[in-house]
Every structure is written in C-alpha cells, then in structure tokens.
Structure 1
Amino acid sequence: MTAETISVKTCEQSNINTLRQSLPQILAVSVKNVLLLAFGMSLGYPTVLIPSLSGGNPQETIVLDRDAISWIGSVNLLCVPLGCLLSGFLTQPLGRRRTMQLVNIPFLSAWLLFSQATKSWHVFLASCMTGFSGGLLEAPTLTYLAEVTTPNLRGILASTSTVAVISGILLEFLLGTFLNWRKVALVSAAVPIFSCVLLFFVPESPYWLIFKGRVLDAQKSMAWLRGWVDLEAVQTEFKEFYEQLIQESFKGSTEELKGWKNLKENSKLYSKKSFLWPFSLVSFVFFLSHFSGLTTLQTYAVSIFTTLEVPINKYYATIMVGVAEMLGCILSSFLVHFVGKRRMNFFSLFGTSLCFCVVATYAYLHEITILLTLTPGKELTPDDRNWVPLTFLILAAFCSHTGIRILPWMLIGEVYHNKIRAPASGFSSAASYILGFMANKIFFSMVITMTLSGTFWFYSGVSLIGLVTLYFWLPETEGKSLFEITEHFRGGTKLNNQVTNFIQMKRLKHRQNGNTGGEINSAFDNKDEIINIRL
C-alpha cells in the first residue's frame, strides 16, 4: 500500500523545538521496531535449534536427520510469502497499530510451542508459524513507518528497521550461547508480549484514521506526533494535510487497492516495462543477497564454524558474525547518502566475494569436504587453531551488510510506479523469501555435490558476477526523486550515476526557501517516499 507523506511545519514556523518534534516519531518507530526485533529473533532461532537437534546431545528426545535439518533452516522463510499475501488485506480494515498487535499472538504461540515441543512436527509447525507471522508484519510496519514520520526523519528512521532485525538475530545468538533451545524459546516469548503492550502507548496512523472518518482521533494522533502539543497547535497543519489527503492520497490509495483486488483486470500493468524491468532487477539483487553466502552462513553458522574448527567457541563465533552484520548495516546507513547505493554495493559484493574465496581456498587446502552437524569429539590442538576462516567469514558478514543484503529493500520502495507499487512490493518481498528458502534448503546438497570449498567458491563467483552485472544494470537512485526513478524504468529519462547527497539537498532546499521568501516548506513532500530497508 502506498505510504502518503504527513506534512509538518518547519522549526521556523513553530514554537516547538526540533527535539520535541522529533522525539515522538522516534519513539513511535522504536515501538514498531520491537516487533521487528521479535521477527529477527525468529530468523536467528534456527541457528540455535539446528545443532541442538542434530544428535549431539544424548539427552535430547527430538533428533532430526540431515534432510529434516535442511527443512528446519528454511521452512520459516517459505511461509513468509503466505503471510505477505494476507498482510495488506488485514492492515487496511484493522489499522496499522492493531494489526501489529495481533501479529504478536502467533509469534507468542510459536515460541510457547517451541518450548514445549515433544515431537518433530511440533518444531516444524512452530517454525511455519514464525515465518507466517513475519509475513503478516510486512504491511503494517512499512506503512506505519511511512505515515507517522516526516520526510526529514523518514530515511534515517527507516534504516533502523534493519538494525532491529539484525539485533534480534544477534540477541538470539547470545541466548543460544548460554541457554538450551527450549529456554531460549521461553525467553523469546517475552518479546511479543512486550511489543503488544508498548503498542498501546503510541497513536494510530493519522492517515488511516482519516481514511476511516475518525477526524478528531486523527487530530489527536498528529498532536501526539508533533511533540505532544494541544489540538489547537496543529489545526493549520491538519487542515492542509486533510485537504491534501482528500485530493491526492485517496485517489492514489484507491488505485493501489484496485491493483490488489482487481489484479486480473489490471494485468496489463504487470506486463509493461515499468514493472518487468524493475521487478527483474530487484529479484536479481535478492538472488545475489541470498546466494552470495550470507543466508546460509547465518543459518548454519554453528555447523560451519564446527567444521572449520575455528579457534574460539563456535557460539561466540556466531555472536561475532551478528555483531559484524550490525556494524555493516549501521555503516551503510550513514554512508549511503554520501557514497551512493552503487558504490556501497560494489564494495559489498567485491568484499564478500574475496572473503568467501579465501575461506574456500582454506577449506580446499585443508581437505575439508563435508559439513559436520555434530560437535567434534576431540579437543583442538594449538596447530589446529587457525584464525583465517573465522576472520574472513566475519569480514564477509560485515561486507555483505554494507550493501547487498539491504540494497533490494531500499530499491523496492523506489523503482515501482505508484499505481503498482503496493502489489509489486509484495511480489518482490515474496520473491526474496522464496529465494532465501531455496538457498538454505539446497545448502547441504551443494556441499555434498561440490564439497564445502566448492560451495564457497560458488558463493564467491555469484558475488563477482553480480558486481559486473550491476555495474551495467543498476542506476544510482540515491538523492533522486521517485518521479525520476520511475521514469527511468519506464524507458523515459535515464538516470545518471551521480549522487545527490544529503548536504547538497539541504543547500538546494535552503536556496529554494531563500528565493521564495520562505514560502516553500521543505517538510511538505508529495513524492510519496518510502524506504523499505530489511534483512
């Protein structure tokens, strides 16, 4: 569903200071991010679960074979697209906040089922439930973020979504280091409860409230988001916002809902270049994201570190991977406005390719061919302790999250025309999780067929080929308007590869405001922006 911009007066036009204006939006997005934290924990849980159910613990009643383990590592991703299909339909009638609260119910049920599981099908069912819940949160979290934030904050607050998911994965790695998988599930069950309670303390989206005819509630929501001010303080802004929404937003929203509900009748929209070109690009980038090696490293980290006999505890090594992912994501969030998406992703793909090539060569030279799912029964000797695979796998995690792991989520909100953006974004998200499922599911088969070194060389080659392909195919979208981007993908005006960074944009807006005597309010933005950054 298209996210419409909520206008806000600039600091010069308001007596409310910048911090007070920004803090409510930061809090609202932070509360929303607690739900994404829960989703990230569900993504990290298979890494804890797999070694526990692989037969290494004689006291464990549930033991799975290699084929079943491959399903444990991937079935949750397969179920995410099913949740995505329902997400948009639930979000519109129920509201963004209420939908986010309801999503916590299947999350909580899944964690409780994990903790009490006595049979293998209990584990598979709970895994499916976490994936389905992750799909359900797509629409409400994305639309809520776009509708409660102002343009000057939306970009940086959108980047916190990825940080929240990575934080959830890292937290699960930490819990798995000190607790068994059942206790990890019990501790994780507290997060959905916490998320549901916190959501009572933030307002519903003003956009949705107006859409439902609840004008007074929409005013109260806007007053809360503008710094907890009185209704009178937002009367002028609310009137302008309301008129803009009636004239433009409902029209755009109706068109997008029509794209969902009457997909067959509007099939021509999805056979045009304006859809096929960007969808192919986004799907290819998602392919690179999953088949460059980090999806399987994140899921099978414990087994990989066990096989390579890294010189520290395998669970500590997994935590280091999570930290590296977070640091890469944070660095990318700060640099992308200045360096641009193209250069960040070229660095990301080259670094990932180099790191996996080194690890593959190490495995080949040490004749490491198969993947161990059980903890080795011997103690490592000093000669066995080699930091090369550990160092380069951690560097691979860092490099991948500076670019290729977050690029496709950025592109989703930019490359599609407004008439098809909502359904096209749903298709792209579904493609991502299906590719993630495939990457995890076939990992064991790849290792058996190509050996571990061959598998890592494959990942290295995919990254290198992706770098060359994107050099010719990927335009620079950073600092460009949505109109410029969509015109490029419709075959109109071509984008150049120059970056219009944040400082340049501020100077341009300052000159515009100076030339018009302050009549232009930079907070008003009709470009319908949204940045979908996710793992």
Structure 2
Amino acid sequence: MFRSRALFRQYFAAAIATLSVMMAGTSMGWPSPVLRLFKENPNHLLPNETFIQMTSDQSSWVVSIIELGNLVTPIPFGFLVDSVGRKPCLLTTGPLYIISWLLVIFTKHVYVLYVVRFMQGLAMGIVFTVAPMYIGEIAGAKCRGALSTFFIGMLNTGILLEYLVGPFVDYDTLAYVSLVIPVVFLMTFIWMPESPYFLIMKERDLDAKKSLYWLRGGREASSDKINLELYNMKQDVEKEMKLSFDFMDIISTPANRRSLLIVQIVAVADVISGMSAVLPYASSTFARTEGAWITPDQCTLLLGVLVFLSTFPTAFLVDRTGRRPLLLVSCFGSGISQLTAGTYYLLTENYKMNLTPINWLPFTSITCFAVIYSIGLGPLVPTLQGEFFPSNTRGLAGGVTTITLTVISFLVMKMYQVIIDHYGVYLNYYIYSVGCIVCGVLVYFIIPESKGKTFAQIQDELNSHIAHKSKRKEEKKQTKIEASNKKAEIERNNKVENKIEA
C-alpha cells in the first residue's frame, strides 16, 4: 500500500491527528440514535427506570447548540495556532470531549445536555480550524489531497460508530464507547511531530528539520532532499511572513480576498447541502416513510456505512481527477438527489398520495446525496482551507471559515425541525437542492484547480490571476479612452467639415 516509509509516516501522523475529527464525528452522530430512542422508548434508553423528558423544541436545541460552541473558538484559536503551535491547540480538544462524555454518563437532565453539546462545539471549533492546517503542513505536495480526505473519512467514521453502536446499547454504554476515542487521541497524538511550517515561523530551524526528517522517512530520507525541502519551506514562509499582517489583511489584499472567497464558497456549499441536518435527524426522517422495506435504524446504519465507504475512492480520486471536477459532480449530484427526496415527501405528506410501491425512493435519494457529498463537498473544504491561505493568514482565515460553516450549520440544524412543524419536511430538501445547484454554478466560474501544486505555486497563481485581471481591466479602460478620443475627434472633424460646407 505504501511505496515508502515517508508515505507511511505521513499517513500515520494524519490518521492520529484526525482522531480529533473522529471525536467530532461521534458528537455529530450521537443525536440520531439517542433522540429517536428518547421519543419511542425512554426507559430502555436509561438505566434505573429514569429518562430525560424532552420537547420537540428542546430536541432541536440539543442537536443545534453544538454549533453555538463551534462559533466561539475558531477566531481565538486562529491566533493561538500561530503563537503556541498546531499540536498543543489540537491536544486541548481531548479533555473537552472527555469531560463532556463524563457529564452525559453521570447526569441525566436536558439542560446538562445543552452544556455537553456546547462543550463539544467548543472542541469542534478547534478541530475544524487546526486539523486541516496541521494535515496540509505535514504532507508532501503529491499526497496532500489524499491526506486531506482523512478529515472527512474520520468524521464519517465517528458518525458511523454512533450509528453502529447506538441502536444496540443503552444510553450510558454509548457514552462510554464515545469516551474511548478522546482517551486514545491524547495517548497517541502527544508523540506526533509539530508542523515544520510552524517551527520555521518560530525560527526553530533545528526542530523543523527533525520534524521533517521524521515525516519524510527518517534514515530512508535523503539528506539533500530534506535540506532542499526545508530551504524551500523557509523561502515560502519568509516570503509570506514579510507581509505585515492584521485581521483586515484577510480581505484587504487581492490574493487573500480571492483565497477567502474560494474557500467560503465551498464552505457554504458544504453546509447548505444539508448534510449537518440530514445525519442527526436520519432515524427520525426515515421513520416518516410508511411501509418502508427496512426499519429506520437499519436505514440509518446503512446510510452511515455507505457514507464511510464513499470516502475511500475520494482519497484515490482527489489527486488524480483534481478538486474542481469532484466539487462540480458533488454540487449538482447533491442538488438532484435532494430535489428527488423533497418531491417524494411533498407528494406523500402534503398531497397524501400513496407511493408505497416506491417507498424505497427517499432512502435511496438521501443515501445518493450523502455518498455524492462525501466524494467532493465533504472532504474538500479542509483540503482547500489548507492549500489556499498563505502561512501568515492560515490560522485566522481558517477560523473565519469555521465560523462560516458554524453559522450556516446552526441555522440549517435549528430550522430543520421548525420547517417540518410549519411546512413539512419536503421544504428542507428543496432548500438544500437550490443551494447545491447555485453553489455548483459558483464553483464552475470562480474556483481554480490546485491539484499537485505547492503552497508557493498556488499563491503565485492567485497573484498572477489578480495581476492578469488588473491588466485586462486597465486595457479595457485604455480601449474605452481611445474609443472616446476617436469619437471626439470624429465629431470635431464633422463640425469642421460642416463649417466649411456652410
């Protein structure tokens, strides 16, 4: 599988780092089995004949309040990641998840669940800001795309774990299973190297060389190649760090502004597709299908398995087909799938049509959406986030991206149940469909390809695009001036001729 020790070590470090993403996945997948069991059989869910009473509105808060926590940490950690390092920031997520799962185990009240979900959101904000940066900076240019897919792969693994275990164990056991992941993360990630880019930024060249030496295979690595890569890294970092940086530089310089626009378009497409609401409400949504061929829990479990499996071809495709084709297929394919699911629910719930012969359609449509999402929109937000921002803005710009994801995700998750109560579940899927198609059009016209390019090459192309655009604008302006002057000259000549004739 691995052509060299260097490749193995980069994959291994990325896998350990993304255990933090798996922790986030468990917190995303946890509501689906838990909320449905609260509604259907609460005494089975909790020991000692106790249960947590929860209204429809409270359940929507339990699902969505995680995004409020996710809103708090990205900007502070966007600064901290450049002062204390990528590794220490990522390590702070372990204790937050450990405490949150212990609260789930030892307390049984809906308001404590609000606190739990908020804490998990705090940790998720750190993970989504720091993990893509760490993975992008430890990876070589040729395998960066594949390593970046670890993010969505481990996220889906965490979700799948909850779907696999949740229907078959009680409330406390599910929390104990979830607790194992942050414990393993803390025990393993502490031994991983810090990002060589960060160490160079802090002028710790010897530590950067040690980090790069380990990541590129240790004794197997050529000393000349290590020194050359380290030299190129230093050149890139020095070039980027020479630029004075404050918060407004994210939007004030043309290249940074374009980078931010590119990543925000993909981030918006990621969330407006509806995945953040589809997963936690999966069991409840599938339960709406009358006469379904399998149970809602089986549907949810199969959905989780297919989403998980779909991440593997992505790791193969992202550095072969490129980012743009996968994004386009994902946007338009997701839009069609969501439109199909929405139409089914519109006809069955609002128009009371009997569609029992095709009651497999909503599960098939939602599963197709989830799989198509997982080959493009899901994995490529962290990939592009790690690629398009220069070193001096990467931390803070990553925080801004996480906030974009969080705000829209909170609205999508909170409004899912509200829209169902007032209009019907179909409208959610129609909104997601329109959002996907609009974002697909934006991807086609705005987002460039970054496959196989170094950070420096990507920044050079962004700057050359800006320069080319400015040149074209100047040429158009000059053409207009020349045309205006020519027109004025013709008018003057005509006036002179008219006077002579008169």
Deviations 1:346-392 (A, max 9, x none): 3223322222222222223323689xxxxxxxxxxx96883222122
Select the residue among 23, 31, 39 that pairs with 2:8. 23
- Corresponding residue for residue 490 of structure 2: none
Matching of residues 376-525 of structure 1 within 5 Å: 386-416=359-389, 420-478=393-451, 481-483=457-459, 485-487=461-463, 490=466, 492=468
Matching of residues 30-45 of structure 1 within 5 Å: 30-45=15-30
Matching of residues 29-428 of structure 1 within 5 Å: 29-54=14-39, 56-58=41-43, 59-209=49-199, 217-229=207-219, 236=224, 239-240=227-228, 248-250=236-238, 252-253=240-241, 255=243, 259=245, 262-263=246-247, 267=248, 270-309=251-290, 310-367=292-349, 386-416=359-389, 420-428=393-401
- Corresponding residue for residue 526 of structure 1: none
Residues in 1 aligned to 2:371 and 2:170: alpha-carbon distance in whole angstroms: 27
Residues in 2 aligned to 1:437 and 1:407: alpha-carbon distance in whole angstroms: 20
Judge conservation of contact 2:73–2:122 (CA < 8 Å) in 1. yes
1:441, distance to aligned residue in structure 2 (A): 0.8
Judge conservation of contact 1:34–1:164 (CA < 8 Å) in 2. yes
Residues in 2 aligned to 1:100 and 1:178: alpha-carbon distance in whole angstroms: 32
1:192, distance to aligned residue in structure 2 (A): 0.8
Give 5+ residue unaligned stretches, structure 2. 44-48, 471-502
Residues in 2 aligned to 1:470 and 1:246: alpha-carbon distance in whole angstroms: 32
Residues in 2 aligned to 1:469 and 1:199: alpha-carbon distance in whole angstroms: 38
Give aligned pairs, total. 458
Residues in 2 aligned to 1:338 and 1:416: alpha-carbon distance in whole angstroms: 22
Residues in 1 aligned to 2:203 and 2:347: alpha-carbon distance in whole angstroms: 68
Judge conservation of contact 1:347–1:399 (CA < 8 Å) in 2. yes
2:396 is paired with a residue whose SS is helix
Judge conservation of contact 2:388–2:459 (CA < 8 Å) in 1. no
Judge conservation of contact 1:487–1:493 (CA < 8 Å) in 2. no
Moved more, 411-420 or 190-199: 411-420
The one-letter code sitting in structure 2 at the alignment partner of 1:25 is Q
Deviations 1:407-434 (A, max 9, x none): 4333333444665444223212210121
Residues in 1 aligned to 2:200 and 2:450: alpha-carbon distance in whole angstroms: 32
1:338, distance to aligned residue in structure 2 (A): 3.9
Judge conservation of contact 1:274–1:416 (CA < 8 Å) in 2. no
Task: Sort the Cα spacing of 1:403 and 1:142 in 2 relative to 1 into closer, same or farther, 3 A.
Answer: closer
Deviations 1:153-199 (A, max 9, x none): 32222222221111111111111121233221111111111111112
1:56, distance to aligned residue in structure 2 (A): 4.4
Higher helix share: 2
Task: Sort the Cα spacing of 1:485 and 1:168 in 2 relative to 1 into closer, same or farther, 3 A.
Answer: farther
Moved more, 17-26 or 70-79: 17-26
Residues in 1 aligned to 2:115 and 2:261: alpha-carbon distance in whole angstroms: 33
- Corresponding residue for residue 519 of structure 1: none
Residues in 2 aligned to 1:25 and 1:475: alpha-carbon distance in whole angstroms: 26
Residues in 2 aligned to 1:484 and 1:36: alpha-carbon distance in whole angstroms: 31
Task: Sort the Cα spacing of 1:399 and 1:91 in 2 relative to 1 into closer, same or farther, 3 A.
Answer: same
Moved more, 218-227 or 191-200: 218-227
Residues in 1 aligned to 2:438 and 2:446: alpha-carbon distance in whole angstroms: 12
Using structure 2 for the length normalisation, give the TM-score: 0.80
Task: Sort the Cα spacing of 1:289 and 1:149 in 2 relative to 1 into closer, same or farther, 3 A.
Answer: closer
2:92 is paired with a residue whose SS is helix
Residues in 2 aligned to 1:383 and 1:18: alpha-carbon distance in whole angstroms: 51
Moved more, 164-173 or 360-369: 360-369
Judge conservation of contact 2:130–2:395 (CA < 8 Å) in 1. no
Q: CA RMSD in A?
A: 3.2
Residues in 1 aligned to 2:261 and 2:199: alpha-carbon distance in whole angstroms: 36
Using structure 1 for the length normalisation, give the TM-score: 0.76
1:106, distance to aligned residue in structure 2 (A): 0.7
Residues in 2 aligned to 1:346 and 1:219: alpha-carbon distance in whole angstroms: 39
1:142, distance to aligned residue in structure 2 (A): 3.1
Judge conservation of contact 1:324–1:394 (CA < 8 Å) in 2. yes
1:298, distance to aligned residue in structure 2 (A): 1.0
Residues in 1 aligned to 2:157 and 2:189: alpha-carbon distance in whole angstroms: 19
The one-letter code sitting in structure 1 at the alignment partner of 2:240 is G
Greater Rg by CA: 2
Residues in 1 aligned to 2:203 and 2:13: alpha-carbon distance in whole angstroms: 22
Judge conservation of contact 1:47–1:298 (CA < 8 Å) in 2. yes
Judge conservation of contact 2:145–2:318 (CA < 8 Å) in 1. no
Judge conservation of contact 1:50–1:72 (CA < 8 Å) in 2. no
Residues in 1 aligned to 2:104 and 2:70: alpha-carbon distance in whole angstroms: 18
Task: Sort the Cα spacing of 1:245 and 1:329 in 2 relative to 1 into closer, same or farther, 3 A.
Answer: closer
The one-letter code sitting in structure 1 at the alignment partner of 2:466 is R
Judge conservation of contact 1:417–1:486 (CA < 8 Å) in 2. no
Judge conservation of contact 2:33–2:162 (CA < 8 Å) in 1. yes
1:64 is paired with a residue whose SS is coil
The one-letter code sitting in structure 2 at the alignment partner of 1:389 is P
Residues in 1 aligned to 2:202 and 2:266: alpha-carbon distance in whole angstroms: 37
Task: Sort the Cα spacing of 1:414 and 1:486 in 2 relative to 1 into closer, same or farther, 3 A.
Answer: farther
Judge conservation of contact 1:286–1:432 (CA < 8 Å) in 2. yes
1:32, distance to aligned residue in structure 2 (A): 1.1
Residues in 1 aligned to 2:180 and 2:51: alpha-carbon distance in whole angstroms: 25
